[in-house]
Structure 1
Amino acid sequence: MPVNLADAEEYELPRLPSSDEDRRDDTSASKQYGHVHEEISREDAGLLDGGDKLGEDGEDDDPDDPSTYTRAIEEEEMVGKGSNVEALIARTVPTTDDPSLPTLTLRVLVLGISFCILGASASQIFYFKSNAPSFSGYFVILATYPLGHLLANERVIPRGKWIGGWELNPGRFSIKEAILVSVLSSSGASSAYAADILAIMNLYFDTPLSTIPSLLLLLTTQCIGFGLAGMVQNLLVSPPAMYWPSTLVTVQLFTTLYSTSSTALSFSAQLLTTRRLRVFMLIFLLVFIYQFLPFLLFTTLTSVSVLCLLDNRSWWLRTLGSAYSGLGFADFSFDWSSIGSTGPLYTPFWALGNYFGGLVGMIWVIMPIILVFNIWDAQSFPSPVSAGLYNSTFQKFDVTSILKPDLSLDDEAWEKARPLLLTPYFALSYAWSFAALSGVLVHVWLWHRDEIKQALSKRTVLNDVHNKLMRAYLPVPSSWYIGLLAINLGAAVILVKITPLQMPIWALVLSMAIAAIFLVPVGIIAAVSNTTIGLNVLTEFVAGVLMPGKPIGNVTFKCYGYMAMSQALALTEDLKLGWYTSIPPREMFACQIIGTVLGALANYVTLESVMVSKRPYLDGTTVDPTGQWTGRAPAIFYSASIIWGAVAPARFFSGGYEVLYLGFLLGAAVPIACHYGHKRWPGYKLNKVVFPIICSGASIVPQYPTNIILTGGIVAVLANSWFAKKHPKLHGQYIYVISSALDAGTSITALSIYILFGGVLWTWEGPDWWGNSKIDSEHCVLGS
């Protein structure tokens, strides 16, 4: 359940066990392995309603007592006073385990591999499609439920039959099997970041890589994060404080779907599970039906701009009121895909406060001042929050005009075309990104260095319920992760040495070093706040400074540095899911590896097929008459390679943009000021100021339109503050299942509309009326 920091007094992670009673050496801990389940498994604890929890003084807390959950909310995990973090997740995460449940079975492989290949292929196709949805993990979870039970039906597959050492039907389809299907699928069911490199090398640079180097690029960039993920489990997985908020939503969805008939549950737990399932199904069906309105029939609901509706003839009202091209003042959204994009139901309230604080401060305070005083010619740009690149006449900058026939930078053409202008918001977003990166290092060092040292100590043994449960299973040896890292790093070295990727070996090593340095600080922030600080800006900046004039080298450096950390964090979050649900670590590892490798292979086959069959539409030679195929995504990636690689930051950040470098200094200074300010004046609660999250919120537009601010903020306050305090027990029991139902219903609707009306079966853009204007759905354009 979301954590409320409203009454927190200290902003620190909980201290790891330090007493002789709670900390045991590895030898004494190993003696308990055979008694773990007898020690903590209680029938009344159940899988869902949290069960009895051992307090720090050995007394039991009743999870059904509202006061217990109220204390859990107020005693959130950032408090450094030995608070019981387990109480915060007691109503969501299983507290017992049945090691006899089937896990990595043949039907897991059949379903997981099928969904993985389907998702990877579909995602790669969607990459070249206009207005295509993402391949939803909720689709896999929901589709697995009937398919898994179908394969467990003895009428379909009789019991007792084996093939190649695998039992075809080992019995009831278990929750652990369902989780492994989801993990296997999600590990590969996306478009690999490196596919962008292959696309632009083929479509724009006319230097396509052959099959083996292409596969090596895809596999190494996807798998190299495994080695890093395995090395940080003691820091980002095992500690209860590293609870990964969005993972709790997934856990409650799985337990709701698969625990209704469990005989291990008490009557009250079975009743609660049944109620949760009813709540999920009701909300899912209602949202699935409702989302057809903002997605297809009444698209104005996505962004209801009050100022534009009052008078869209005024430039100021359009600029202030539009969510798509303006600041989103008085703009309401009634589309859950927008409202739910910030995770308002499960993200800790303190994190939402920092995030929305940065977003509101930038969009509704700083930007109006910039516009009023016309700083950096703000009023001359088509949109004040555009991420586009402009020339001196404030028209779209023609990247191709500054390139030679071999696609290298033409210095003479650059001198004629310069300067390259950014909107004030986009320029400042780079400063905020720089500040977030330096800030996350300083913040974690100031507040969490002691916890990191304790987690790295070999004598530290965590004795919370989940760590005890996991002792029943063999861990993944560190040598597996180190070996995987070494193999992929070695393959990457060979790859950059023999291919025209424009990246020397030292640059590859540096990109990996950047990922390794930021993994733990960024991971800690992500694990407790649901906010991830990306390395995309830093890696392309560093590559541009150190390797100017090498556009392919720039994006390759960015891919290895950015994806190594991003993939490591994604895998770490999956490991936490397995930790919560007692999945054998080695089977989790196998599913992650299988999914990642198969996904990369499917990406490559699909990518090559599409580029061969649809090339004229993708490289801009011809416009697809159906409007379905487009090269917009690789074109954007190509432009970024030219700006950061060919033009390079030395030319890019000039003419007044040098001030943006101060972001690095600001990011380091603010956490120091807040840290020592809190010690000097604790009453001001500066411990709650997490500057990296503030910077993340300040730079999120235009990745997300500004319609997320008003309605998203209202939902966050109502759900994570008012409702959590007013009805703490109901909040703990239902908030995550409500969130999963809203997200699942929305994503399935988007997928359904794409299949039914997006050109797969039929092409239809919805009715043409005021609420579904073909000119501008939010009515900020004249004539709409």
Structure 2
Amino acid sequence: MRRGSPEEVEEENSPVEQVALTVPTGDDPSTPVLTLRMWVLGTASCVVLSFLNTFFLYRKEPLTVTGISAQIAVVPLGRLMAAALPERVFFRGRPWEFTLNPGPFNVKEHVLITIFANAGAGSVFAINVITAVRVFYGKHISFFVSLLVVLTSQVLGFGWAGIFRRYLVEPAAMWWPSNLVQVSLFRALHEKEQRRKGGMTRNQFFLVAFVCSFAYYIFPGYLFQMLTSLSWICWIFPKSVLAQQLGSGLHGVGIGAIGLDWSSISSYLGSPLASPWFATANIAAGFFIYMYIITPIAYWINLYKAQNFPIFSDGLFTVTGQKYNISTIMDSQFHFDTKAYEKNGPLYISTFFAISYGLGFACLTATVVHVLLFHGSEIWQLSKSAFQDKRMDIHTKLMKRYKQVPEWWFICILVASVAITMFTYEYYIEQLQLPWWGVLLACALAIFFTLPIGIITATTNQVCSRNSRLEYHHRVHHGVLVPWTSCRKHVLQGIWLHWPTTSPSIPARF
């Protein structure tokens, strides 16, 4: 086991306290990693989680099966394979010598399996694109074209993420809070600890937390589903419209509403337990101001005829509050029909939805400004010195002992992916309605926002809203350069929305 002296470790340890307390500073380079059980369990975890999360994607409250589920499930399977597989060495003494069972199931195998699982656990936004075009608009996209759209959007993110390793992985300040949860679990499952008097080992704490979380969820999830949302104001005044607008967690702003269903709590922003306190407090304060102050005031002063529509809704309405029929303002080629729009009148959205878009634009701008002000000099120094002269913590130094994937590999992946994407969208222009230069524009905008969004994610565990980035692109692309089409809008989401969201999450697995 290679480990620095206590003084060296203390001097070089991560400046982030949570990392220094959680991530071990030792390493054993002789531990087998690329084993048969790693490939079998890793591939199976990736496939199963990808299927489950895509299947549950269509729920109103998305149910996400995280990589932690696979991280726990593969431990008994890995140890079973270690006990059952033969230890015979094949082709002994030759360069391709291998064995089905190199020894006990170890933590490095477990980490790689979990990386596989995390890769499959992430959502594929292009699936939403294809679903919307085929179901909502009734437009045909063949299976082969759909497959190309999904694959190209995924691989684009991998190529660009590899190039950003220097900025999003190696600096000690980029600590990826959500990863510490899995690191703690790895240590609990593999390290032997001496129980302190009056305390618990990691393994004991994990078992207690596991039992408590199961007992907690069984009530709102199965036995008493009413606990999912407790809107007590609506109970007291069941016939009051004002009470419904204020207290309903489903149709109002949810003042006083309490949700005990953990899937509702973590569906969209992830687990609050994995985020730093300052990030969670910032979100809570912003939510309070947005939902409990700005939205009600804008509604009750009837801003932009707000009282003609529900206070909380993601629907589209006419000026009288009726549902807006989108199909009436599109022609047979799914192009925007200006004359039909003038005939049907302007489109309105609820107060909540309008303000959410406005704050989304503010968030996007604030992300770029924050990164420039607080991380601009560091980004510049990393670009100039290629990181070699930069102080590294102990964890980055340990990883430097291993041969890294060359950066030109990622550049080749990126260039090839962009070329294939351009060919796909140009060759199948009738189905996708996006010219090759539209792909380049979407890629350019995505490149610009990947680094700032990645830095925010790496330090706070929060991601900038997709909707604000989508609308920003619509203003640039559809409003200025080319005519608007619904299909073009959606296929661009596969690049413009998916890339800056997926790319920052991929370096977290490096």
Aligned-partner Cα distance in 1 for 2:295–2:303: 10
Q: State how 1:637-656 maps to structure 2 within 5 Å.
A: none
Which range moved further: 305-314 or 465-474?
Answer: 305-314
Shift of 1:214: 3.2
Report deviation, 1:210. 5.0
Superposed CA RMSD in Å reads: 2.6
Distance in 1 (alpha carbons) for counterparts of 2:296 and 2:237: 19
1:299 paired to 2:225: yes
The residue number in structure 2 matching 1:349 is 277
1:543–1:553 CA contact under 8 A, matched in 2: no
Partner of 2:493: 558
Look up the SS of the partner of 1:172 in the other structure: coil
Q: Which residue of 2 aligns with 1:497?
A: 426
- Of 412, 424, 428 in structure 1, the residue corresponding to residue 355 of structure 2 is 428
Change in CA separation of 1:189 and 1:363 when aligned onto 2, cut-off 3 Å: closer
Q: CA deviation digits over 1:507-527, x for unaligned, max 9?
A: 111111111111111111111
- Structure 1: how far apart are the matches of 2:107 and 2:410? 27
| Amino acid corresponding to residue 360 of structure 1 in structure 2 | F
Kindly indicate whether the alpha-carbon contact (under 8 Å) linking 1:221 and 1:564 is maintained by their aligned counterparts in 2.
yes
- Given the two structures, how large is their TM-score scaled by the length of structure 2? 0.90
Tell me which of 252, 260, 275 is aligned to 1:334: 260
For residues 438-496 of structure 1, give each alpha carbon's deviation from its aligned partner in whole angstroms, at most 9, with x where no partner exists: 22112211222111122222342333110121121001111111011011111111111
Paired residues of 1:220 and 1:491 also in contact (CA < 8 A): yes
In the alignment, which residue of structure 2 is the partner of 1:316? 242
- Show the 5 A alignment for 1:597-612: none
Q: Distance in 2 between matches of 1:486 and 1:202?
A: 29
Match of 2:470 in 1: 536
Helix, strand or coil for the counterpart of 1:397?
coil
Aligned to 1:249, the other structure's residue is in SS state helix
Paired residue for 2:139?
A: 206
Equivalent position amino acid for 2:364 in 1: L
Unpaired runs of at least 5, structure 2: none
Matches within 5 A, 1:416-495: 416-456=343-383, 457-458=385-386, 459-495=388-424
Aligned residue number for residue 455 of structure 2: 524
Structure 2 residue aligned with 1:282? 208
CA change 1:435–1:303 in 2 (3 A) is same
Deviation string, structure 1 residues 643-663 (Cα, Å, up to 9, x no partner): xxxxxxxxxxxxxxxxxxxxx
Give, as a single letter, the amino acid of the residue that structure 2 aligns with 1:54.
E
TM-superposed CA distance for 1:372, in Å, is 2.7
Cα distance, 1:129 vs structure 2: 6.4
**Bigger mean CA deviation after superposition, 122-131 or 451-460:** 122-131
Percent identity of equivalent pairs: 33
Is the CA contact (8 Å cut-off) linking 2:49 and 2:121 kept in structure 1? yes
Q: Is the 8 A contact 2:42 2:113 kept in 1?
A: yes
Is the Cα–Cα contact under 8 Å of residues 189 and 203 in structure 2 kept in the other structure?
yes
SS in 2 for 1:334: coil
State the Cα distance separating 1:407 from its structure 2 match.
3.5
**Contact 1:246 1:346 (C-alpha < 8 Å) held by counterparts:** yes
Q: Does 1:54 align with 2:18?
A: no
Match of 1:595 in 2: none
> Structure 2 CA distance, aligned partners of 1:396 and 1:498?
37
Q: In 2, are the aligned partners of 1:322 and 1:331 still within 8 Å (CA)?
A: yes
Distance across 2 between alignment mates of 1:467 and 1:192: 30
SS in 2 for 1:291: helix
Change (3 A) 1:321 1:235: same
Look up the SS of the partner of 2:171 in the other structure.
coil
Asked whether the equivalents of residues 172 and 392 of structure 2 are also in contact (C-alpha less than 8 Å), the reply is: no
Aligned equivalent of 2:110: 178
Could you tell me the TM-score, scaled by structure 1's length? Answer: 0.59
| Structure 1 range deviating more: 372-381 or 291-300 | 372-381
Stretch deviating more after TM superposition (189-198 or 446-455): 189-198
Closer, same or farther: CA 314–242 of 1 in aligned 2, 3 Å: same
Correspondence 1:414 to 2:341: yes
Matches within 5 A, 1:713-752: none
Corresponding position of 1:40: 4
Instruction: Write the distance in 1 (CA, Å) between the matches of 2:44 and 2:488.
Output: 35
Aligned residues between the structures: 495
Q: CA deviation at 1:200?
A: 4.2
The alpha-carbon distance between structure 1 residues 428 and 335, as it changes in their structure 2 partners (threshold 3 A), is same
Q: Deviations over 1:592-646 (max 9, x none)?
A: xxxxxxxxxxxxxxxxxxxxxxxxxxxxxxxxxxxxxxxxxxxxxxxxxxxxxxx
Alpha carbons of 1:514 and 1:38: their partners in 2 closer, same or farther (altered >3 Å)?
Answer: same
After TM superposition, list the pairs within 5 Å mapping 1:30-429 onto structure 2: 38=2, 40=4, 53-55=9-11, 85-127=15-57, 133-153=63-83, 156-162=84-90, 166-203=98-135, 204-209=137-142, 211=144, 213-260=145-192, 267=194, 275-340=201-266, 341=269, 343-382=271-310, 384-429=311-356
Letter in 2 for 1:472: R
> What is the letter of the counterpart of residue 555 of structure 1?
H
Given the superposition, is the C-alpha separation of residues 335 and 123 from structure 1 closer, same or farther in structure 2, using an over 3 Å criterion?
Answer: closer
Judging changes above 3 Å, is the alpha-carbon distance between structure 1 residues 526 and 189 closer, same or farther for their aligned structure 2 residues? Answer: closer
Q: Structure 1 residues 536 and 411, CA, compared in 2 at 3 Å: closer, same or farther?
A: closer
* Partner SS for 1:375: coil
Match of 2:504 in 1: 569
Question: CA separation in 1, counterparts of 2:99 and 2:244?
Answer: 64
Q: Is the 8 A contact 1:539 1:558 kept in 2?
A: no
Quick one: higher RCO (CA 8 Å, sep 6+), 1 or 2? 1
Displacement of 1:208 after TM fit? Answer: 2.0
1:168 Cα deviation from its structure 2 partner: 0.8
Q: Which runs of 5+ in 1 are unaligned?
A: 1-36, 43-50, 62-83, 576-784
**Distance 1:225-1:540 versus aligned 2 partners, 3 A rule:** same
- In structure 2, do the counterparts of structure 1 residues 165 and 86 end up closer, same or farther at CA, with 3 Å as the change threshold? same
Deviation for aligned residue 1:321: 0.9
Amino acid at match of 1:539: H
CA distance in 2, matches of 1:189, 1:339: 18
Task: Name the CA distance, whole Å, in 1 between partners of 2:435 and 2:197.
Answer: 59
* 1:52, distance to aligned residue in structure 2 (A): 8.3
Which of 472, 477, 482 does residue 547 from structure 1 map onto? 482
Assess if the C-alpha contact under 8 Å between 1:151 and 1:157 holds in 2.
Answer: yes
Change (3 A) 1:292 1:540: farther
Corresponding residue SS for 2:30: coil
Query: Conserved in 2, the CA contact under 8 Å of 1:41 and 1:97?
Result: no
Q: Partners in 2 of 1:474 and 1:565 — Cα distance?
A: 27
**How big is the shift at 1:191?**
4.9
SS state of the match for residue 304, structure 1?
A: coil
> How big is the shift at 1:190?
4.9
Of the structure 1 ranges 93-102 and 126-135, higher mean CA displacement relative to structure 2 is found in 126-135
SS in 1 for 2:453: helix
User: Which is further off, 541-550 or 313-322?
Assistant: 541-550
**Distance in 2 between residues matched to 1:346 and 1:199, nearest whole Å:** 31
Query: How far apart, CA to CA, are the structure 1 residues paired with 2:439 and 2:450?
Result: 17
Distance 1:131 1:361, change over 3 A: closer
